[in-house]
Structures are given as structure tokens and as C-alpha cells.
């Protein structure tokens, strides 16, 4: 059985707390590794290591820091297959999906190569009599990221790439469910030329999280996970004077207008609703056909597609649409939601609860499930399921469909499928949700824009990646300078002005 280790100071370090967690193979249900759960002393040692290393790294010019990121991108391409296999083995997602996970993180690393431009300040010559002003962006110091199981490559890179290229040192606390890829990424950063101690991976549970939130040397924290934990991290981190950005749960709606290309809409729902077994914060989990005729046409085309979904372990290659859920607890939770939906009166048109994978009977597999006639008061509508379950909520009018998305407590992503430019423009303008797709089912922005939800999907005023990341991981200092020539003698007691 493999022993996962921490990665601290540029080397692997065995855990000393005596506490561990099991890492499972989701396809077989077997324990394949043990991951250490850090004690406060272990975390404190990693933070001290990072604090000692950070000043010399910050003193490197942005171009040199960007060159490390450039080499990191090259190494990611080199080790793509190795990383994807490790990711799939612990998470359960298919190899193509695992590569997508890595590539979306890689794209943020590519964006960070532009740090010399993104870190430029401003300058005003002659802002006042003999006065010049300029601003500079400086790193915060030691910062941290707490990342989820569902994207063990992408989200860590969304956090540590901009933080590090800005001149900070980084403490990464990844999910203990699939910890190997974060370690591999840290090792590649070292190979790319990152000095020891600038990127440290500390595995752990709530004890490590609380230690990060309470430690006086951690200046900023980024988190992605469920909304209750996001709110907890945000509240505790802010109370301790830290800069905090937290992203939580989602219930992403997709409106299908009567004029939509129905084949295109069904393709979108199949991929966005069931890809990665629904374990995506940007998964479409609610389909909203507008009008009874639209709903009936949608169900006629959608039902056989859900019934035909191919579920298999990642070793099946491109033949699988999605794999198992990440843990037995996740499978049990999703099954509980399906049972609740039936009990609450929704029509379970496709029931995937009895799916069995021959030869993998102990794996955490669940077939695709499709509910129709779901209503706003049902738990399967109100709560995030995080599984291969799609709910169809029939709306009689566009306004009713729009209100469903706008009145939901989550505001992560939303989409509309239509051929009508007026409807699409109105939808994009009025919707109170952070990321909007028009005939695009998963509207995750590219790396040079920012990612972030509204309402109870996001806490904090700055988003992930893009220009916001460089704002989050730096602070601005403004310098006003005046030299003696031409300055009149005598003290000035009124507030300075530029007149």
C-alpha cells in the first residue's frame, strides 16, 4: 500500500501526527494508499519554512518568476499521461476528463507567464507642483489554498500559480481523498526551478484547515468546496484579519427556449449534467424547458440518451462517459437524494440506482438518473446533489424560467439555449448569476477572465484566476515623491492638494 507524504521545503516528508486517512480506488472500493493528516506542529513547520523562503523569491524580478512558470507548463505537457492516470486512479473520472482537469489548470499557468505585464503599477509625472506619483504591486507573503477533491489538478493550479508568480510563498492543503496529483504538481514546480519552500503541500483535515485560518503568518486564504464550509472558512479567516476568497456550492440551471436547437440542447445536457458523474460545481443539474411542447420534445430526445450512458472505470479509456463517484459516502449521499426525490413526488424517468459494473461490484458506481416534473419545494431542486442526477423543472413562460434561476440561493453558473438574440441578451443582462452561457452549457471562463459565482456560491469580492487573481495575491503601495528644487520654504499646515 502506498504511503502519501507531505511535500515541504522541496522534498517529501513523512507525517508524524500518527493520524492518517484512507485513499480509495473508487472503481474497486479498495484502499490503495494512506495519507497523513497533519498536526498543528507539522503545519506550523511548513509555514515557517515558507516564511523563511519567501523574501528571496519576492526579490526575484517578475520575468524570472515567469520563466519558472513557463518551464512548469512544459513539464505539465511532458507528464500529462502520468498525471492523468494518477488523477483518475484516485478520483475515478475518465482519462479524457482527467486531462481536461489538468489542461484547465495549465491554461492558468500559461496566463501567469504574463506576470511582468500584470504586475506593472501606474505612474503620473507632474501630479502636482514638482510632485510625481507611482504605485507598485507587492506580494502579501505566505498565502494558502484549501482545495476540493473534484478537480485535484485544476483548482490547486488556479490558486498557487498566480500566488507564486506574484512573489508569495504558498501552503496548499488539498483534499485528502485524492492527494497524489497535488504532490506531483509541487514536484514539477521544483523541477521547473522554483526555490525550496515556496510551494508546500500539507495534507490534513479540519485541524489543518483551522490551523491555516488561525495562523498569524498566513496573509490570505483561497477555498473551494461546499457552501457551509466556504462560509465557515470565510467567516473565520476574515475574523483573523486575512484576505479570503471562498467558492461554494451551485445549482446550475439551463433554460431551453422553444426555438432552441433541441439536438444541440440535449447534447449539452448529457455532457454538462453527467460528465465526471456530476461531481462538478459547474455541472448543469436543472433543465428548464419553457412551454409544455418544449418539455415534451426535450424528454423524448433526452430520455434514451440518459439510458444509453456508458459508465465504466477509467481503465476503459474513451469508451466510458463517466466513472464512479469518489467515495462510498458520496454514493450513499446521492442515492439518498434520489430516494427523496421519488418520495417527494418527482417522476424518476431514468433510474440508475440498480446499475452494477461487472467485475467492479464494490466500486462506487451509479447510473445516470433523470427526474421530470420537479418542483421548487423538493430537496432535489433546492440542494446540490453532486452526482449524475438531472432534474427537469417545467416552466410555462420565459419569465417563470428566468425567475427559477434568479430566486435560487446559489448563483454559480447558468445557461440559455435559444436562437433568439433578443432573448439571449435580455437573459444575460438580467440574470443575477456570476457566469452565463449562451448556447454554452458549462460557461467556465478562460484563464484570462475570472471565475466566480454570486449569492451563496461565492464569498469575497475578488474571483479566481484572470486579473482578479493578481489583485488578490498582491497589495498596492502608492508613492508620492517631491525633490527639493523649487520648493518654497516654510511649513505647510493645510492638507496637501494638487492645486
Report the half-sphere exposure of 123 (CA within 13 A, side-chain side): 2
Among the listed residues 112, 166, 281, 369, the single catalytic one is 281
Q: Which parts of 219-285 fold into alpha helices (H)?
A: 227-239, 262-274
Active-site annotation holds for 281: yes
For 272, residues 6+ apart whose C-beta sits below 8 A from its C-beta are: 254, 282, 283, 284, 415, 441, 442
**Is the distance from CB of 156 to CB of 147 less than 8 angstroms?**
yes
**Is the distance from CB of 474 to CB of 491 less than 8 angstroms?**
no
**Between vectors from CA 180 to CA 58 and to CA 325, what angle results, nearest 5°?**
125
Residue 51 DSSP label: H
DSSP string computed for 127-143: EETTEEEEEEEEE-SEE
User: How far apart (Å, rounded) are the C-alpha atoms in residues 317 and 313?
Assistant: 8
**Is the distance from CB of 447 to CB of 107 less than 8 angstroms?**
yes
User: How far apart (Å, rounded) are the C-alpha atoms in residues 452 and 465?
Assistant: 9
What H or E segment, with its residue span, contains residue 59? helix 40-59
**Is the distance from CB of 451 to CB of 466 less than 8 angstroms?**
yes
Strand, coil or helix: 219: strand
Helix axes 154-165, 62-78, angle to 10 degrees: 160
Cα radius of gyration (the chain): 25
User: How far apart (Å, rounded) are the C-alpha atoms in residues 409 and 386?
Assistant: 16
What H or E segment, with its residue span, contains residue 293? helix 292-307
User: How far apart (Å, rounded) are the C-alpha atoms in residues 264 and 244?
Assistant: 39
Q: What are the E-state strand segments in 20-141? A: 20-25, 30-36, 123-128, 131-139
For 206, residues 6+ apart whose C-beta sits below 8 A from its C-beta are: none
Q: Identify the bridge partners of residue 252 per DSSP, sorted by sequence position.
A: 284
For residue 119, what is its C-alpha cell? 504586475
Residue 357 has φ and ψ, to the nearest 5°, of -100, 115
User: How far apart (Å, rounded) are the C-alpha atoms in residues 83 and 78?
Assistant: 10
- The residues carrying an active-site annotation are 281
Amino acid at each position: 500500500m502506498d504511503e502519501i507524504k507531505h511535500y515541504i521545503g522541496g522534498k517529501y516528508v513523512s507525517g508524524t501526527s500518527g493520524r492518517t486517512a484512507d485513499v480509495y480506488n473508487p472503481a474497486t472500493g479498495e484502499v490503495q494508499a494512506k495519507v497523513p493528516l497533519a498536526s498543528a506542529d507539522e503545519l506550523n513547520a511548513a509555514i515557517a519554512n515558507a516564511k523563511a523562503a519567501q523574501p528571496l523569491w519576492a526579490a526575484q524580478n517578475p520575468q524570472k518568476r515567469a520563466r519558472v512558470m513557463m518551464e512548469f507548463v512544459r513539464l505539465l505537457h511532458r507528464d500529462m499521461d502520468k498525471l492523468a492516470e494518477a488523477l483518475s486512479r484516485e478520483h475515478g473520472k475518465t482519462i479524457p476528463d482527467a486531462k481536461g482537469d489538468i489542461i484547465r489548470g495549465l491554461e492558468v499557468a500559461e496566463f501567469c507567464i504574463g506576470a511582468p505585464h500584470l504586475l506593472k503599477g501606474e505612474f503620473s509625472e507632474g501630479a502636482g507642483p514638482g510632485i510625481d506619483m507611482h504605485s507598485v504591486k507587492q506580494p502579501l507573503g505566505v498565502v494558502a489554498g484549501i482545495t476540493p477533491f473534484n478537480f485535484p489538478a485544476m483548482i490547486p493550479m488556479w490558486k498557487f500559480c498566480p500566488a507564486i508568480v506574484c512573489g508569495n510563498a504558498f501552503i496548499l492543503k488539498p483534499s485528502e481523498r485524492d492527494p497524489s496529483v497535488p504532490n506531483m504538481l509541487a514536484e514539477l514546480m521544483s523541477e521547473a526551478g522554483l526555490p525550496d519552500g515556496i510551494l508546500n503541500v500539507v495534507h490534513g483535515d479540519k485541524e489543518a484547515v483551522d490551523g491555516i485560518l488561525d495562523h498569524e503568518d498566513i496573509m490570505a486564504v483561497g477555498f473551494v468546496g461546499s457552501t457551509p464550509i466556504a462560509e465557515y472558512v470565510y467567516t473565520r479567516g476574515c475574523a483573523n484579519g486575512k484576505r479570503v476568497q471562498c467558492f461554494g456550492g451551485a445549482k446550475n440551471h439551463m433554460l431551453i427556449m422553444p426555438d432552441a436547437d433541441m439536438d444541440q440542447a440535449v447534447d449539452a445536457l448529457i455532457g454538462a449534467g453527467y460528465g465526471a458523474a456530476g461531481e462538478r460545481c459547474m455541472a448543469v443539474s436543472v433543465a428548464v424547458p419553457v412551454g409544455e411542447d418544449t418539455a415534451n420534445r426535450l424528454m423524448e430526445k433526452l430520455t434514451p440518451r440518459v439510458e444509453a450512458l456508458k459508465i465504466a472505470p477509467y481503465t476503459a479509456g474513451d469508451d466510458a462517459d463517466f466513472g464512479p463517484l469518489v467515495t462510498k459516502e458520496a454514493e450513499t449521499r446521492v442515492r439518498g437524494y434520489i430516494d427523496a426525490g421519488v418520495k417527494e413526488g418527482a417522476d424518476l424517468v431514468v433510474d440508475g440506482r440498480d446499475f452494477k459494473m461487472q467485475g467492479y461490484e464494490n466500486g462506487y458506481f451509479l447510473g445516470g438518473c433523470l427526474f421530470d416534473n420537479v418542483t421548487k419545494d423538493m430537496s432535489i431542486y433546492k440542494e446540490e446533489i453532486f452526482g449524475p442526477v438531472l432534474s427537469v423543472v417545467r416552466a410555462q413562460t420565459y419569465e417563470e424560467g428566468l425567475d427559477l434561476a434568479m430566486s435560487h440561493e446559489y448563483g454559480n453558473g447558468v445557461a440559455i439555449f435559444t436562437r433568439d438574440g433578443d432573448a439571449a441578451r435580455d437573459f444575460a443582462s438580467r440574470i443575477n448569476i456570476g457566469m452565463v452561457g449562451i448556447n454554452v452549457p458549462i460557461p467556465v471562463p478562460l484563464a484570462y477572465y475570472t471565475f466566480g459565482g454570486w449569492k451563496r456560491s461565492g464569498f469575497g469580492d475578488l474571483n479566481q484566476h484572470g486579473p482578479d487573481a493578481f489583485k488578490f495575491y498582491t497589495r498596492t503601495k502608492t508613492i508620492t515623491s517631491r525633490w527639493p528644487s523649487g520648493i518654497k520654504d516654510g511649513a505647510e499646515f493645510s492638507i496637501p492638494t494638487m492645486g
